[in-house]
Amino acid sequence: MRVLVGDTPVEVGEGATVLDAARAAGRYLPTLCQDDRLSPRGSCRVCLVRAADRVVAACTTPATEDMAIQMDDPRAREAARGALELIVSELPSRALEIPAERSELVRVCTHFGVTDTRFHGATHRRGVDHSHPYVKLDRDLCIACGRCVAMCAEVQGTFALELAGRGFDTVVSAGTGGPWVDSPCVACGGCVDTCPTGALSEPGLLDPAPIATTTTTTCGYCGIGCTLDVHVRDGQVAAITPVHGAPVNRGHACVKGRFAHAFAGSRERLTAPLIRRGDALEEASWDEALGLVAARLTAIRDRHGGQAVAMISSARATNEENYLAQKFLRTVVGSNSIDNCSRLCHAPSAAGLTASFGLAGGTNPLDDLDHADCILLAGANPTEAHPVVGARITQRVLAGARLVVVDPRRTTLAALADVHLRGRPGSNVAVFHGLARLLLDGGYTDEEFLTRRATGLAELTELLRDYPPERVAELAAVPASDLATAARLYGQAEHPAIVYGLGITEHAHGTDGVRTLANLAILRGAVGTPGCCGVLTLRGQNNVQGASDMGALPDLLPGYQPLADPAARQRVARVWGQPVPERPGLRIPQMFDAAIAGRLRALYVIGEDIAQTDPDSGHVRAALDACEFVVCHDLFLSQTAAHADVVLPAVSFLEKDGTFVNFDRRFQRVRPALAPPGQATSDFDILRRLAHAMGADLGCPTPAAAMAECAAVAPLFAGISHDRLDREGPLHWPCRGPRDTGQAVLYLDRFATADGRAALAARPYLPPGEQPDTAFPYVLVTGRRLEHYNSGSMTRRTPNTTLLAEETLDLSAADAAALGIDDGTPVAVTSRRATVTLPARITDELAPGEVFTAFHFPDPATNSLTSAHTDTATGCPEYKVTAVALRPT
């Protein structure tokens, strides 16, 4: 519609407000209670203008066709100024002493020329609450605008905040009004981010000293890929804030990405290379360290062949570093034994999604959840492990979308779900078959889609005869009536979405889990069709998608080109000017077995703490000890680094240049905000220098050049370049040329399988690799917690440790009572491999017979308990099912 702002005609869309129209005309309008991320409040009145001949609040008044908006109306301006002065009259003078860039109130006062007030408001002495390590409250600066409360409710979905008190005494409060740190606040930082006055702030922004630089980059924690601004003062991170309007996170973040940055300045950072001399690791020069690594790798390669050397590349590192890592191993060492930690999490996704649809990634962008009317969330706890997505799902549910959760634990979202299918660990395939059978029996399938675009329906239908709801109820311990309700909700939805995580993949039959989950989307025609929401995979590490995309895999070259394909090898060899070794390499678990068997002599580990995070850690340590030579790159002296012969000091995502690929296949830029500490340097730099020391030149003088070379060898990424990402922003792959804008939604024309059709999988349910018995009667499930991240090497070096200081064993009240366990009781947890002791935490999240813990802390060594069982198709460990015995100590 057309609106006149002053003399300027502007076009605005349906639903636009007067404020939107003013902005469209390029005019500044002061606001205090308004935030684009929130529903309008209309309470502060500083945005008053004359529109359609009335004085109105611009933020809440809808624009109408041909509306005339006067921005400089004296009556409106005087009323707005009066409202502002009334607000200021209640505040202490320090409210106006905050630097303008950190206070909307100060900016609005500057606009109106308000430095003092005619009114004499009440003087408050409400005090501060600095109990929380990150969220600091100065109650006397609160103007009760309600933005923080709305942010907590509408964006984060936690509902931890409220405006307490009446009239002039109204002030924000967390939980039941006790200390903030004891409230349900999850420290997403949304309240701090939206506060217009500084009443809610964070430690780095309480300091009035100016920020020196601000760098926009991509978060280095989970795989969501939030865009963040890193503010640096005196060479240290002062604060990190989410970028408003960023495509993935839309101005939201979580306690890790937003606040857990102190690790970068930790005194425990490695700042010089270390070489083992006797039992000790001692500092050495780069020349000495790289000379030693080059000499030992060369000697082992020349004596035993390239197959005697293996490398574990890093899902924490950039694409460019992973690209260089696999190029180094393939061309300098002559081995394909390179793998990355997707082996331990989403290798079944890559295999399963490729088999079902054709490509090794989720099918749709996160944005598509905005129109999902039913979300099937399986094996994922995103409110803790991927909080920005957890918040987005919560928003959809609060807006009316139906939610089905498949999870053995009663997670936050399970508690919010219409149906919680609480199957026993390891029963996913049975549950998905039960749902598939009900979709078929209930007539919820898309016959036309199945006829034209899918294969395997007859085989699947035949298999599903063995999975009536009553049998599935028995196999999975899920009520048949709940299965029926879940099938009806997913079956009747117009825009059903599937979101899943490691609870599907980290099983002995994880690939079958992915494929039988994908069956549901195919049966409904809810993938590869316009308006569909498809299947989204929640990737664990920040760049686990990218590490695999770049070919840090033993059987695939960059862009998922099969190593076994001579044409692919030739394409890559032409660009590299060197042949690609033909023999497939070892997967991570095979590397450990080969080391113990004496076939693997050297292991090179980039940024992974395999001694803490890989399953059956006793076996991993034995493998490290069996190797003649172990090298690792890391930020800290990890459990793995302590076993190494040479440790090379690497840099974090805050200190490096390159790109990550997030969980919905978006290439995003990573830019250095900090200088590396001491002599630490990037994995990129280390690999180039090491190749040089071995008499080779990897080319790729810069990360941008490495991305350009990767685009030349991998048709999937042919259109990706740093230059484009800097100019155009994130790009989804496939992106096959410089004019291709990338495919956010896959398979709209055809699936990428050989016959162009989606493949239904008729895979039978098979029980988990590890079964409980009378000696080990409980099932241990491992996963993540909100406050910490993976091995905890970063988050344990931040104030997040005050939010969660130790690991616990979570168990049901029924099991605790039967065993005589109270909250905090030390419990000896014994598996068939080891015993660790953990304090008990009694919770309704666990069903009787099941217990839960994470592995964010090196002590207790949770992964000494987990087993060597792996997914039969991909070698992904069965982290989610370990039989254990419990004994209070």
- State the nearest-atom distance from the C-beta of 42 to ligand FES, in Å: 5
Q: State the Cα angle at 158 between 157 and 162, rounded to 5°.
A: 110
- State the nearest-atom distance from the C-beta of 86 to ligand FES, in Å: 13
- State the nearest-atom distance from the C-beta of 191 to ligand FES, in Å: 17
φ/ψ of 747, rounded to 5, equals 70, 25
- State the nearest-atom distance from the C-beta of 48 to ligand FES, in Å: 8
Q: Please, which residue, 90 or 807, has the CB nearer to ligand FES? A: 90
- State the nearest-atom distance from the C-beta of 728 to ligand FES, in Å: 33
Pairing state between β 48-51 and 68-70: antiparallel
Give the C-alpha distances (Å, rounded to integers) separating 605 from 258, 672, 678. Answer: 28, 23, 21
Q: Please, which residue, 12 or 646, has the CB nearer to ligand FES? A: 12
Q: Please, which residue, 70 or 652, has the CB nearer to ligand FES? A: 70
Strand ranges across the sheet with 128-129 = 128-129, 136-138, 200-201
φ/ψ of 861, rounded to 5, equals -85, 80
- State the nearest-atom distance from the C-beta of 79 to ligand FES, in Å: 11
- State the nearest-atom distance from the C-beta of 46 to ligand FES, in Å: 6
Q: Please, which residue, 58 or 353, has the CB nearer to ligand FES? A: 58
Q: Please, which residue, 34 or 322, has the CB nearer to ligand FES? A: 34
- State the nearest-atom distance from the C-beta of 41 to ligand FES, in Å: 6
Q: Which residue ranges make up the site for ligand FES (CB under 6 A)?
A: 31-34, 42-47, 57, 59
* Identity of the amino acid at 548: S
Q: Please, which residue, 40 or 585, has the CB nearer to ligand FES? A: 40
Nearest to 158 by CA among 167, 149, 146, 147: 149
In whole angstroms, give the CA distance from residue 302 to residue 525.
54
Nearest to 381 by CA among 549, 501, 498, 509: 501
* Identity of the amino acid at 384: E
- State the nearest-atom distance from the C-beta of 19 to ligand FES, in Å: 7
Query: Before 860, cis peptide (omega within 30)?
Result: yes
φ/ψ of 249, rounded to 5, equals -95, -10
Q: Please, which residue, 60 or 578, has the CB nearer to ligand FES? A: 60
- State the nearest-atom distance from the C-beta of 32 to ligand FES, in Å: 5
Q: Please, which residue, 61 or 791, has the CB nearer to ligand FES? A: 61
- State the nearest-atom distance from the C-beta of 40 to ligand FES, in Å: 7
Q: Please, which residue, 47 or 222, has the CB nearer to ligand FES? A: 47
CB 135 within 8 A of CB 192: yes
Nearest to 872 by CA among 505, 336, 442, 381: 505
In whole angstroms, give the CA distance from residue 711 to residue 705.
10
SS (H, E, C) 291-302: HHHHHHHHHHHH
In whole angstroms, give the CA distance from residue 740 to residue 732.
10
- State the nearest-atom distance from the C-beta of 496 to ligand FES, in Å: 38
Q: Please, which residue, 42 or 203, has the CB nearer to ligand FES? A: 42
CA 299 to chain centre: 40
Q: Please, which residue, 35 or 655, has the CB nearer to ligand FES? A: 35
Q: Please, which residue, 144 or 610, has the CB nearer to ligand FES? A: 144
Give the C-alpha distances (Å, rounded to integers) separating 680 from 651, 669, 778. Answer: 6, 21, 45
**DSSP H or E stretch at residue 218:** strand 213-218
In whole angstroms, give the CA distance from residue 662 to residue 319.
11
Query: Before 703, cis peptide (omega within 30)?
Result: no
- State the nearest-atom distance from the C-beta of 56 to ligand FES, in Å: 9
* Residue whose token pair is 């002039």: 168
Burial class (CB in 10 A: 0-12, 13-18, 19+), 767: middle
CA 445 to chain centre: 32
Radius of gyration of the CA atoms of the chain, in A: 28
SS3 of 669, please?
strand
CB 500 within 8 A of CB 470: no
In whole angstroms, give the CA distance from residue 322 to residue 330.
12
- State the nearest-atom distance from the C-beta of 104 to ligand FES, in Å: 10
- State the nearest-atom distance from the C-beta of 115 to ligand FES, in Å: 21
φ/ψ of 431, rounded to 5, equals -60, -45
Q: Please, which residue, 34 or 427, has the CB nearer to ligand FES? A: 34
* Identity of the amino acid at 768: P
In whole angstroms, give the CA distance from residue 705 to residue 726.
14
Q: Please, which residue, 107 or 233, has the CB nearer to ligand FES? A: 107
Q: Please, which residue, 16 or 350, has the CB nearer to ligand FES? A: 16
* Identity of the amino acid at 693: A
Nearest to 542 by CA among 666, 416, 681: 666
Nearest to 791 by CA among 275, 344, 203, 164: 344
- State the nearest-atom distance from the C-beta of 50 to ligand FES, in Å: 14
Q: Please, which residue, 79 or 575, has the CB nearer to ligand FES? A: 79
In whole angstroms, give the CA distance from residue 134 to residue 260.
9
SS3 of 338, please?
strand
Query: Before 888, cis peptide (omega within 30)?
Result: no
- State the nearest-atom distance from the C-beta of 99 to ligand FES, in Å: 21
Who contacts 81 (Cβ-Cβ below 8 Å, separation ≥6)? Answer: 112, 114
- State the nearest-atom distance from the C-beta of 242 to ligand FES, in Å: 21
CB 311 within 8 A of CB 649: no
Q: Please, which residue, 36 or 740, has the CB nearer to ligand FES? A: 36
